[in-house]
Amino acid sequence: MRMKIRIAKAAVLAVTVILVGSPSVFATSLVHQYILTNGNYHDTFGGPDLVPDGGSLGPDGYTFGINQGLKLSNALADPSTYGIEMLFKLDNVGSGFAKLIDTKNLTEDNAWYSQSGHLTFYPLQQGADVVFANGVYADLLVTRVGTTKEVRGFVNGSPEVDVTDSGDIGVFSGPNNIITFFEDDFQCCNRAEASPGTVQRIQIFDGPVNPVPEPSSFLLLGTGILPLIGKSWKRAHPTKPA
């Protein structure tokens, strides 16, 4: 009996949770999870809290104005290898740029954007599809592998970006490997490349993970959900006006 209990506990710890209703991620390396619809900034795994920058929590999650995003420090053991998943909506997608994830403590103009509704890893690659729209929730997953420098981005389970990050744009190099969400940097454009919106969930993995389609059934293990069913496109490099 004790052996069975130990095995069950180990299985629960190995399960990665993505809530039903969004593309699922199957992995054994979920290290931080923030469910902002719960009304707090705490990590369900007991790690560092998210730090708000002017927005507010409500029943729909964290609602932010322009450059009122979130910051997270000390969450990445290896700032070059990770997966980041988040469920959010933007209120002003527009025809320009809106920064989603900043990797350099707001000192550089690069990294992850919505560009006219396309997912863009600036300045290396823009996704082929329009995947963001005003007021519509999107499930974003971005990953990086330190040894190969491969960066990938998915929206609602579909691949949009797959590129070699030879310049280490995707490495979190700020103090305490700080991650900044939904805020524009100070290098360009008077911090105008940002959108208001709402984020409901942020999850951090200690390595790359792959989205899989929602399975028709799940095996419940404690608080985890284990899915039973366990093209990238290249465009010209995106450019910004001077």
**What pLDDT score was predicted for residue 241?**
53
Structure tokens at 195: 């959108």
CB atoms within 10 A of CB 176: 15
Tens-digit pLDDT profile for residues 72-110: 999 999 999 999 999 999 999 999 999 999 999 999 999
Residue 155, exposed/middle/buried by CB under 10 A (0-12, 13-18, 19+)?
A: buried
Residue with more model confidence, 7 or 130: 130
How far apart CA 47 and CA 57 sit, in angstroms, is 19
Rounded distance between C-alpha atoms, residue 2 and residue 222, angstroms: 17
- Report pLDDT for 28: 47
> Distance between CA atoms of 214 and 196, rounded to whole angstroms?
29
Sheet containing strand 125-130, edge to edge, reads 51-52, 70-72, 179-181, 97-102, 111-115, 118-122, 125-130
Beta-bridge partners for 140: 86, 155
pLDDT at position 224: 35
Mean confidence (pLDDT) of the chain: 83
Q: Quick check: 173 and 87 in contact, CB under 8 A?
A: no
Whether 59 shows a pLDDT value over 70: the answer reads yes
pLDDT tens-digit readout, 122-171: 999 999 999 999 999 999 999 999 999 999 999 999 999 999 999 999 99
pTM passes above 0.85: no
CA–CA distances in Å: residue 83 to residues 33, 125, 200: 12, 18, 17
Give me the residue spans of the domains in the chain.
27-211
| CATH 2.60.120.200 is held by the domain 27-211 | yes
Q: What is the predicted pLDDT for the residue at 240?
A: 61
pLDDT score at 29: 87
